[in-house]
Amino acid sequence: MGDSSSMENLEKQLICPICLEIFTKPVVILPCQHNLCRKCANDVYQASNSFWQNRGSTTVSTGGRFRCPSCRHEVILDRHGVYGLQRNLLVENIIDIYKSETNRPLLPKTEQQQLMCDQHEEEKINIYCLTCETPTCSMCKVFGAHKDCDVAPLTVIYKRQKTELSDAIAVLVAGNDRIQALISQMEDICRTVKENGRRQMQNISDKFDELFAIIEERKRELIETVGREQDRKLGHVRSLMRRHGDHLEMSIKLVETAIQSMEEPQMAVFLQSAKEVFKKITDTAKASNIERTEAGFESMDHFIINTENAADMLRGIDFQTAEDGEDSSDEAPEDLTNSPGQSGESGRL
């Protein structure tokens, strides 16, 4: 009796197949030699014999019959009903010994505010239907909508799903940390883009200021080009930040919801909401798409100007590619007007 494994095996033998708890005295023995709590036997008996006026009645009837929930053997009762069944004193004595030899609770029970079955108002929700994935009561398994389903004790499924939800929360929190780091990185990229853009625009302004009125018009056009490139890049990065920020906010709220669900003390209430919360967490984790900017996206080094050309070439100045820049001293003004900058491509000045 002192061995924990032996005690667990003994406890399994002392569990009623109806309420899935330790037999409650008095224990009755059926003709097929299976045991039931008298209350559970009475519930099964009343459910099988519609002439009973109400469940829980102790009125002596003229007999009846029901099937054993363990082996489906038909049990025929006399006029005394379940009170005519023989008590199993041996099992009752074993239960007394078991209670005296163990210091731990027989089964985890939540007597206060425990949910009751909608279909059987006097029955506690104490099992979980694996087929329908919903908490239910013992009578629903024996005679109700779940009689052909596979079931398990509520505590087992409660512990399993609580563990799975805890693991999912940990994964989601880790993903949120990565998204937050990515947003911080993109904030740095925005600052770098703005600084590089500002530096290049100031460089262009300094060069064109030296060329007076002719340069002023062209300067405005080139500054606008740099500004458009900067706005395009900033707009792209900010759109990514908004997208990831929205996803992060949703994930944080979902984490709060999941944590509140974890704090729910009632197993049935928790199981009723945990499935939906777990599905939302799974869908949110799958929908996460961490999009990044390409390497060197923040660079604005392709906006470089060259003021060594003559004044008659000023109106043809445009952003040049690297190849154009190497031969710029030998090219005529008309060649410059056909540079990639005219077609919308970015190059060097």
Q: Is the pLDDT of residue 310 over 60?
A: no
Comparison of pLDDT for 340 and 284, the residue scoring more: 284
- Contact, 261 vs 273, CB < 8 A? yes
Is residue 67 a contact partner of residue 36, using CB atoms and an 8 Å limit? no
What pLDDT does 349 receive? 53
Give the pLDDT score at 191. Answer: 93
**How do residues 137-193 score in pLDDT, each as one tens digit?**
877 877 777 777 888 887 888 888 888 887 787 777 678 878 888 898 999 999 999
Structure tokens at 154: 């509520």
Question: What does pLDDT average to over the chain?
Answer: 75
pLDDT tens figures, 2-30? 466 677 778 878 888 878 788 887 778 88
Q: The pTM is what?
A: 0.33
Instruction: Give the amino acid at 285.
Output: A
- Whether the CB-CB separation of 229 and 300 falls below 8 Å is answered with yes
Q: Which residues pair with 67 in a beta bridge?
A: 74
Contact 271, 173 (CB under 8 A): no
Domains with residue ranges and CATH for the chain: 2-49+62-102 (3.30.40.10)
Give the tokens for residue 47: 């459910």
Q: Report, as an integer, the average pLDDT of 331-341.
A: 40
Instruction: Convert the pLDDT of each residue in 267-294 to its tens digit.
Output: 887 888 888 888 888 877 776 667 788 8
* 259 token code pair: 């944590």
User: Which tokens in the block code for residue 237?
Assistant: 């990065």
Confidence of residue 195 (pLDDT cuts 50, 70, 90): very high
Q: What is the pLDDT of residue 86?
A: 86
User: How far apart are alpha carbons 136 and 116 in whole angstroms?
Assistant: 9
Give the residue, 116 or 31, on which the prediction is more confident.
31
Give Cα separations from 207 to 150, 202, 293, 348 (angstroms): 82, 9, 31, 14
Higher pLDDT among residues 171 and 211, named by residue: 171
> Could you give the CA distance from residue 299 to residue 287 in angstroms, rounded to a whole number?
30
Token code pair at residue 324? 């154009």
Query: Look-up: residue for tokens 């007076």?
Result: 212
Return the CA Rg of the chain.
39
